[in-house]
Every structure is written in structure tokens, then in C-alpha cells.
DNA sequence: GTCCATCGCTTTGTATACAATTCTTGCCAA
DNA sequence: TTGGCAAGAATTGTATACAAAGCGATGGAC
């Protein structure tokens, strides 16, 4: 039935968006590099129209920045901006865990437990890729519980993907992986206790911890306040 | 061809955006009404291009909703969506007040005090318009303290404007105005005490209170959980 | 040699044309 | 009558053309 190539049936605007997002998140643009519509259009084989729409969407998500007069640049984030991003994440994820706490069932708890166990294994095996994978899965499972809270879900997903690009490297920092897994363990415990206040606090601290790690990785010379 | 836009300096896309935002926020579109590009373009005297860009921006802010297959509709919010909006606001504003707390100075405290006093006066005079005005000013003053936290600031401003349309009516509810002013008083006290935890909690409760009022106003028949 | 004005090139902003898709309507068959 | 299908109308998606605005380079005045 559906024999057509799937990559071709989504609208050009979406493909352009995915392509550019990927490019920004993997740092394929040098920081401050100007994003010229015509050039991008030619490179990707679209016209300027879908490119423009993709650029505007990326801007609304804060992935690129408008220049003073016109056009966009691939933004290099300042330490302050990274800090703020993580802080907002911490606050939203904390609140989300509070909501999630009220919706817990044993099936999910088992899944989370499993994630942690596998991440631990990967840690012992010193396979950071797999640690990263299972840590990611841990948060995915939690987010899935609140997909019906669309604003919240959308924001969390957006912000997390924004951050995942350097999150991986962060794990390589001394004990970064261990700290993350410990954080997840605390989160699981708070969920088991069905304590919303504790849930919120623990999640917030977890994200703030990862903020510290990320800042130290990204800006090693700077003091983190 | 361009005989009509000489008095306008801002780009068409921005004027289209402002116009449509205003129309949505004041309820000029009936809920569920389809927003056809061609029609809007003709009505407003633009071409479809700036209209499209404006519509996409409005969608990214959650003011309109994409239909299943194509196009947008002016969305009537469900109780659940209004609830979520206020909850996210509560969380963000709470965090913001925590930040603001660390930046307090006497000048700002005096201004806030003044706002509250004037709102009280207006309450006694039963001038709800002026109550509304000074309550709005109260939050404006707070937000101005964190304009440099751009994501946070932008989100708070966006969400608040979204909510202000029915906020005014909410005040007309029994004691709605008094409750709001009381909330502001608590906020001021928490700031005076320079207690970040208290600040966050008090602000969150304040927004949640206004959520309750708003829900009762918007959906009087429903039970509010 | 330096500063400023101006011209032209580059890039974005807007309009419009055209293609693709969805929605509607009306007809025909079961 | 109803269900489904097809044709055409309506509307969006994309490409392109054109207008306007910025940016840079060149050249002239001092």
C-alpha cells in the first residue's frame, strides 16, 4: 500500500526543519555563522519558503538567534544562557515529576528500575554510550506519563533535546555517569514513596547537578556560581 | 501598489501577527473558527506570506491550533488546558520570584508597596478597572527585574498576556479582587523577608488561586479539582 | 591618507503564480 | 436511502519573481 519513500511525503518545511535542527544541535554550523536563506535553500534543494518557515520555528525554540537587522545566526550559548536553560528545565521537570508522582503505577516503576540497573551495568562496563542511552530512556519513560499535558510535554522535550548534544560529553567527566545514575535512583525512591514534594525537589536537584556538570564541561575556565 | 502602507514602519509580518493576536485574545474569532490564509490576507490587505508567518508564530505560542490535516483554528481552551497553562505559569513565576528575591532593593519594594496601596484604594472605590490596572503593574514591576533572563522573561510575558483576557472578568467574582491584592501582599512580605523558598511558594499559591478563580469564571458548571 | 557619500551587490521581505492536497457536492449503483 | 466514488472547488504548500533594505566597496573631497 504505502510503497512511497517516507522521507519524501513529509512537507518540505518539516524536512528542512529537521535537517537544520540536526545541523545546529550537532554543531555543524560554526558559532555565529550566518544562515543565509538562499544558500541553505540551494544546498538542501528546496526553495526559500520552507527554509524560512523552518528558521522561524528554530528561532521560536531558541536554537538560532535573529541578528540585529536581518537574518539568523547559529547561536553559541553563553554560560548565562546555558545556566538559564537548565534552571527552567529543572523547574519544569520538577513540577512534571510532581504530576507524574500522582500517576504512578507498578509497571512504570519496574521499567524505571530496569533502566537504572542497565545503566549501572553499562557504568561498570565503562560503556558510556550505553549509560547515556539508558539514562535517556529513563527520562523518556517519565515524559511519556504526561504526554497529555501538551504544553508541559512539548517544552520539556524541546529543552531536553536542546541539551542532549553536550549531555553525552558531560558523562565523561569524573563520576558524571555515576552522579546521574545516583540521581535517578533518588528519583525512583521519591516516586516509590509517592511523595510529591520530595519528587519535585529531587528532580530539581538532579537537573541542577547536570547543569553543574554541563557548565564545567562547556566552560572549564569559568567559575560556576 | 504600496500606497497604503506609508504610515507603517514595522514589517507586514509583525503587523499581521499583532492584529491576529489581538483578534484571538479579544475573542473576535468564534471558537473553532477556521483561519483561512487567503481570506485573512484579503481582509487585512497583505499577501498570504506574512499571514502564514504570523499564523505559525501564533501556533508556536499556543494561541491557535493546527487542524488535523491543514490550516489553523482559533482555539477554545478546554478546562484542562487552562489548568495546565496556569500551572506552568505558577511554576515559572514561582521560580522567577525566587530569582527576583535575590535581586531586591528598596526602590522596588517601595514601588510594589505603592501598587498594592493603589489597588486597595481602587477596591474600596469599587473601580475594578483600576484594580486590574494596578495588579497588572505589580507583576510588570516584578518581571522587569528579570528581563535579562530572556527565556524566562519571554515565557512569562507570553503566558501572562494569554491569560489576561479573562483575568479581568475574574476579578468581578466575589472577592476575586480582594484575594488578588491579598496575594500580592503576601508576595511583598516574602520579598521583604528575603526568603527565597517562601517567595517561590507564595507566588505559586497566588497563581494557583487565580487559576481557581479563572476556572470558576470560565467553566462555572464544572467542578474544579 | 582619511572620511564620507554614493552606487551596486547581496540578502531579506512580500507578492504572486503554480502545484498538490483536501474538502464538497452530486451522481450512480446496490 | 445510503454508501462510495469522481469531478471540481477551495485551500494550503512550494517556487519564483520582484521590491526594498542593508552592507561593502569605490571614488572623490579635503
Band (pLDDT 50/70/90 cuts) for residue B9 is low
> Looking at beta carbons, which pairs linking A127-131 to residues 24 or more positions away fall under 8 Å?
A128/A168, A128/A171, A128/A172, A128/A177, A131/A171, A131/A177, A131/A180, A131/A181
Q: Which residues of chain A have pLDDT under 50?
A: 1-8, 224-225
| Alpha-helical runs (H) found in chain A | 6-9, 12-25, 37-44, 48-60, 79-101, 106-124, 128-144, 150-171, 176-192, 196-218
Residues 163-182/B with CB < 7 A to strand C = none
Residue A222 pLDDT:
60
Question: Whole-prediction pTM value?
Answer: 0.90
pLDDT in tens, A78-122: 999 999 999 999 999 999 999 999 999 999 999 999 999 999 999
CA A41/CA B22 separation, integer angstroms: 33
* Residue in this structure with the C-alpha cell 500517576, named with its chain if needed: A103
pLDDT per residue over B146-164, tens digit each? 999 999 999 999 999 888 8
Kindly determine whether the C-beta of residue B48 is less than 7 Å away from any atom of nucleic acid strand D: yes
Q: What angle do CA B24, B27, B29 make, to 5 degrees?
A: 70
Closest CA to B123 of B180, B178, B187, B179: B178
- The confidence score (pLDDT) of residue B137 equals 97
Establish whether the CB of B17 is closer than 7 Å to any nucleic acid atom in strand C.
Answer: no
> How confident is the model over B36-88, as pLDDT tens digits?
999 999 999 999 999 999 999 999 999 999 998 899 999 888 999 999 999 99
The single residue listed with the C-alpha cell 540536526 is: A22
- Pick the closest to residue A85 from A177, A158, A182 (CA basis): A158
Q: 3-class DSSP state for residue A107?
A: helix
| CA–CA gap between residue A51 and residue A15 (Å, rounded) | 9
- B73 DSSP β-pair partners: B34, B65
Find the CB nearest B62 among A56, A57, A151: A151
Averaged pLDDT of chain B: 90
Using CB atoms, which residue from A81, A84, A92 is nearest to B91?
Answer: A92
**B residues 48..107 contacting A (CB < 8 A):** 52-53, 56-57, 60-62, 81, 84-85, 87-88, 91-92, 94-95
SS3 A146: coil
Give the pLDDT score at A65.
Answer: 94
Which of B81, B85, B92 lies closest to A91 in CB terms?
B92
Average pLDDT over residues B15-33: 92
- Which residue, chain included where needed, has cell 520579598? B191
Whole-angstrom Cα distance, residue B52 to residue A49? 11
Residue reference for cell 539568523 = A72
Residues 6+ apart with CB under 8 A from A153: A143, A146, A147
What pLDDT was estimated at residue A11? 87
Q: Is residue B2 scored above 70 in pLDDT?
A: no
Whether residue B96 contacts residue B209, with contact meaning beta carbons closer than 8 Å, is answered with no
R_g (Cα) of chain A, nearest Å: 19
pLDDT for residue A52 = 97
Amino acid at each position: 500500500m504505502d510503497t512511497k519513500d517516507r522521507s519524501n511525503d513529509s512537507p518540505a518545511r518539516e524536512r528542512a526543519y529537521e535537517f537544520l535542527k540536526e545541523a545546529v544541535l550537532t554543531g555543524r554550523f560554526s558559532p555565529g555563522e550566518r544562515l543565509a536563506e538562499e544558500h541553505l535553500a540551494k544546498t538542501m534543494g528546496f526553495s526559500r519558503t520552507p527554509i524560512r518557515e523552518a528558521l522561524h520555528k528554530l528561532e521560536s525554540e531558541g536554537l538560532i538567534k535573529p541578528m540585529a537587522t536581518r537574518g539568523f545566526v547559529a547561536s553559541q550559548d553563553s554560560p548565562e544562557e546555558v545556566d538559564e536553560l537548565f534552571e527552567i528545565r529543572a523547574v519544569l521537570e520538577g513540577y512534571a515529576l510532581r504530576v507524574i508522582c500522582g500517576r504512578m503505577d507498578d509497571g512504570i516503576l519496574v521499567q524505571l528500575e530496569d533502566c537504572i540497573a542497565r545503566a549501572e551495568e553499562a557504568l561498570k562496563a565503562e560503556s558510556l554510550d550505553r549509560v547515556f542511552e539508558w539514562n535517556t530512556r529513563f527520562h523518556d519513560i517519565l515524559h511519556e506519563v504526561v504526554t497529555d499535558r501538551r504544553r508541559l510535554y512539548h517544552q520539556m522535550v524541546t529543552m531536553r533535546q536542546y541539551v542532549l548534544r553536550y549531555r553525552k560529553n558531560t558523562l565523561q567527566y569524573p563520576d558524571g555517569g555515576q552522579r546521574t545514575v545516583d540521581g535517578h535512583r533518588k528519583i525512583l525512591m521519591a516516586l516509590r514513596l509517592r511523595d510529591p514534594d520530595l519528587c519535585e525537589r529531587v528532580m530539581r536537584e538532579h537537573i541542577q547537578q547536570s547543569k553543574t556538570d554541563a557548565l564545567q564541561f562547556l566552560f572549564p575556565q569559568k567559575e560556576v556560581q
